[in-house]
Every structure is written in C-alpha cells, then in structure tokens.
A and B are shown apart, each in its own frame.
Chain A
Amino acid sequence: MDVSGILEEHKNKFKPIQVDRLIPTEFDLGLLACFDMNMLDDNRLRASQQSRDRYLKELSREGAQQMINELFGLPTTVDEDSVYATLPKTTTVLPREKPIPKEKPPTRWEKFAKIKGIQKRKSTGKVFDEDQGEWRRKYGYKGVNNDDQKPWLIEVPGKADQYQDQYQVRRDEKKARIEKNTRRNQRNVEENVAVEKGMKPHEMRKRELQKALVLSKQSTASLGKFDTKLKGEPKTKGLKRKFDPLVGSADSEKSKNMDILNRVAKGESKATVINVRKAQRAVNNAKRAAASKSK
C-alpha cells in the first residue's frame, strides 16, 4: 500500500510552518521577544512604500511563525479549559524602576527570636469561640477580643475590691495593652533610626535629652540659673545673660530706641495681621461713646 502519496497530499493541504534562517534567531521567551540578526534585503526596504510594507509583512510573518513554534514547544499546564505555556526566565537585562530597598535592621523581638531559635508560625487567624459556637477572628471586625461582644457576666476575682467595676477594669486593661504596643513600636522605630545613623539608641536618646535641657534653659529669663537640677546633670557652658552697660554713649541708646519705634510703627510683616472686624467694632464703639458724650 502506498501511503506516502496520501501523506504528501495531506501535507500539501496545509501551508508550511518551517522557517529557515542562516543565523539562528535568538529568543527571549520570558519577554515574548525574538531577535533576528540575519541580513535584510536592503533593496526591498529602499523600494516603494507598498513593496516595502509587503516585505516587512513577510519578515514579520516568519518571525511570528518562529516564535509560535518555540512557544508551542514549551511545557504547558491546563487550567480552566485553556492551555498555558510556562515561560522561562527573561535573559535580557532590563533596568529596575526603583532602587533595591534597604534591609531593615531587626527589631528587639526578631533579635531575641533568632538567638532562641524561635520560628514564625503561621496561624489561620480564626479562633473557635465556645460561647457562640463559631469561628471568629482573633481581632478586628467581630473579633474575639472586642468589647461589643462583651460577656454578660464577669466574676469578681478573689483579691479585688467588690465595688470595683470589672467592665471598666477590662476596658482599662485593653487600653494599657494598646499603649504598650504603640510604645514598643515607637521604640523599634527609634532604634532603627539610631542604627541607620550609626549610633547606639541609648546614645541618641541621651543626646536628644541634653539638647532639650539646654533649650529649656535658654527659654527662661534667668537662663536656668535657679532651676532645680536633676541628679547627674552636666554643667551647661556658655549660657550667659547679656546686659547692656548702664553708662554708654547717648547716640547708641537713641538709635536703639528709634529702631524699636520704627519697627513698631511700620509693623513687622509677621505681625500685620489685623482683625478687621475687631478694629471696625473698636472704631464704632469709640464713635458711639464720643457721640453719647457730646449729647
């Protein structure tokens, strides 16, 4: 039986999918791209618009055919009636949008966990509530720890004062817990900042406190001379109150006073905020008072 004839006929029914290229085309399937380094027919490209477009279409068809051939050769997964080809990683180097994020220094807990070898466990996030017989969140909307699902009865513990409001105690404890959490978060942030600057967090806090001390001393009229000192407070240097000499040249005193007056008369730009309403009312009141007096 001569099957080859039938096969030939079958083959000729369909158009070929083979594309021959002198220099094999490079593919970057991760980007769905291909780079064909073969020589182009410059004559056809320089020709008229129509023939050029036809040539380009031929080239494109062959390029597309090569890509399709490659893509159909990739490993596939079937998902919801459509076949997906798994793409390999891209080979072309494309720049990032933003720089690589810096590594955050570990928090106090992370350091401790590392030493002790405590692993992070992923929890489902829901807790079984015996009272309601259903799964509820640990926290958040309709969470187990929320007050709107408060118990209808709280037993007074043995050592507590019997007139103490236990519901209030619950609320206070929750507030204390939240505050503790926020304080710890703040501490972590401060420690990160200190580490980034290259200082120990204790050092940084100390410096900040010293700075605040000096500023507060400067703000008092006596420059902190009579303030009660803390234990171990260092002596502040260079804070001296300056007084003008009692006897000096009359000219300098005159010019100083004139300066002050000029500034007041001109009105410093920061202080020229007049409350027009109030000013108008004051003027009206003065006029009324003058009018009633004259009567």
Chain B
Amino acid sequence: NEIHPFEDETGIEFFARKNDSSLFAVGMHSKKRPHNLILGRTFNYQILDMIEMGVERCTTMQEHKSQACSVGMKPLMVFNGEAFNRDENLVRLKSILLDLFRGEVADKVSLKGLEYIITVTAGPPGPNGETGLVFFRTYTTSLKKSGLRQPRVELEEMGPSLDLRIRRVRLPTEDMWKLAVQVPKELKVVKVKNISRDGLGDKYGRVHLGKQEINKIQTRKVRALKKNLDGGKSGKRQKMDVDTE
C-alpha cells in the first residue's frame, strides 16, 4: 500500500474519509528520503496541510527505562525559540503538533493529572538561513514541595525523543484555510458596547438622546407666557364693555 502524500493525495484522503479522521501520520524510508515522517491534517476529507521531516536521531520509550505516564493524559506543551514565530515552516509545525497532541478538548484539568510534558525546541538555523533541527523531547513531571502554593517541577526523560529535520512543507490554500478557520456566528465573542464599570463595581452606561429641538417641545400651556397676550386681553375687554353698556 504505497502512499506518497506529497505526490498523490488520494490515498490519504481515502483513508481519512473511511476512518473519519482528520489527523494523519505517515512513516516511510527510501534512499532519497531516509527515515521520513509526514504529519498532516485534513479539512472536509481533503488534505489541508502537511509537513515532511527526517528523523535524524530517535530514542524510544523502552530505551529511556523510566516510568511511563498513564494513557490518555493531556500533555503540557512547551515551544522554545523565537523561530516558532518567525519561520513559516516552524509556525506550521507548531500548529500541527498542537493539534496532534491536544487530546480531548477540556475546560477543566485536574492539577494532579499533569503528568507529562512535550518540549519542542528550535535548533540554530543552517548557514544559508535554512530551518535548523527541531528537538522533540518528552518528560514525565514530578511535583515536589516548594514551601509555597506552586510546586517545584522535576523532570525525567520518558518518552520518544526525536531530532527532526524539516524537508518539505505543504501549506494550505488560502480559501481552504479561511473556511477551516471560520467561527460560526454563535461562538463569536460579542463585544458589549457602552457599558463600563467604575471602581466600586457600579455599572455605567451612556444614554444618547440625540439633538433636542427646544422650540418644538410640547409642554403644558401657561396663559401668562402666550405671545399675543396684550392684544388678546384688550380685545376681550372691549367686547365686555360693549355688552354692559
């Protein structure tokens, strides 16, 4: 079953559709690309992005002979090096590794259950500015007393450690990435405008009235304020005089 994701995507897409999985890893070995590892993700059963790396050095879990952590734990992830923000290949790698090792999405985590940590460090770049080796290490944590609330962390190398050299990277197409990153309206954070709180916790908001036309405001009629008051008064008086006479 020969699968070459960079040459032919249909193999991977077929498996993704059949297994309903969106993350994939392919390992192969050839003279041209020895110890090749390809990690990637799919969106809507089509390859979104993938990264091909050569494993230059690898130590397995058995070789480390330390206590492995329980299955299913969420790892802590540490990325060392500013290259993870600068080099676009490493940015892609960071994104894929975060996705791969994310595990179950949880909003709470047990403080006792932080058993292992994965560190990814960017090695020094090559002479032509090429991306350097990436050091992937896994450790189990042990939390020791520190006299304060936060414990002291001690690490012990546990799991597989790999030295990776990035070979090829397939970046996602613009429109596919846009679709993949879309957030549905319901989940978008709605900014509440106009409401603020002062130091005491009281809620303040501004009421906007608009322009007020003072001349046209309807108020209670006060006779004394009538415009043609004198004319009207004298007029009426005259009439009354005529009657009495």
Contact = CB atoms under 8 A, between A and B. Distances in A.
13 contacts: A17-B153, A31-B102, A36-B80, A36-B81, A49-B57, A57-B139, A59-B121, A64-B153, A64-B155, A94-B102, A95-B41, A95-B99, A96-B180
Contact of A17 (B41, B76, B150, B161): B150
How many A residues touch the partner, as a band?
35 or more
Contact of B150 (A59, A61, A72, A92): A72
A82 to B, nearest CB: 5
A174 B243 CA distance: 93
Contacts of A32: 74-77, 109, 114
A95 B177 contact: yes
Interface stretch (A97-105, A248-256, A257-265, A275-283): A97-105
* A-B residue pairs, 4 tightest by C-beta: A63-B78, A95-B180, A42-B124, A60-B119
A9 to B, nearest CB: 11
A65 B44 contact: no
B110 A84 contact: yes
A114 B113 CA distance: 47
A86 B107 contact: yes
**What is the predominant secondary structure among interface residues of chain B facing chain A?**
mixed
A73 B124 CA distance: 34
A33 B76 contact: yes
A63 B80 contact: yes
A62 B80 CA distance: 11
Contacts of B148: 14, 17
Nearest to A19: B153
A84 B108 CA distance: 6
How many B residues touch the partner, as a band?
35 or more
B145 A14 contact: yes
B172 to A, nearest CB: 8
Given A64-B117, A84-B111, A97 B22 contact: yes
B85 to A, nearest CB: 6
A39 to B, nearest CB: 7
A49 B56 CA distance: 12
B108 A77 contact: yes
A225 B68 CA distance: 83
B147 interface: yes
A36 B135 CA distance: 15
Contacts of A13: 147
A15 B152 contact: yes
A273 interface: no
B71 interface: no
A16 B111 CA distance: 20
A68 B124 contact: no
A37 interface: yes
Interface in B51-93: 57, 74-82, 84-85
A11 B79 contact: no
A167 B99 CA distance: 61
A215 interface: no
Nearest to A41: B124
Interface of A: 10-11, 13-17, 31-40, 42, 45-46, 49, 52-53, 56-57, 59-61, 63-65, 67-69, 71-73, 76-77, 82-87, 92-100
A10 B145 CA distance: 12
Q: Which of A32, A59, A72, A92 has the most CB of B within 10 A?
A: A32
B78 A87 contact: no
A102 to B, nearest CB: 11
Given A15-B146, A83-B110, A100 B184 contact: yes
Nearest to B180: A95
Given A40-B122, A64-B139, A87 B117 contact: no
Nearest to A96: B180
B98 A31 contact: yes
A40 B114 contact: no
B81 A40 contact: yes
A34 B108 contact: no
Contact of B153 (A35, A65, A98, A100): A65
Given A61-B155, A95-B99, 14 more contacts: A32-B77, A38-B82, A45-B123, A45-B124, A57-B155, A63-B80, A63-B117, A68-B151, A68-B153, A69-B150, A72-B151, A84-B110, A87-B107, A95-B43
B179 interface: yes
A38 B83 CA distance: 10
Interface in B106-146: 106-114, 117, 119, 121-124, 135, 137, 139, 141, 143-146
Contacts of B155: 57, 60-61, 64
B80 A94 contact: no
Contacts of A63: 78, 80, 117, 119
A87 B149 CA distance: 18
B238 interface: no
Contacts of B84: 35, 37
A58 to B, nearest CB: 9
B137 A60 contact: yes
A37 B81 CA distance: 5
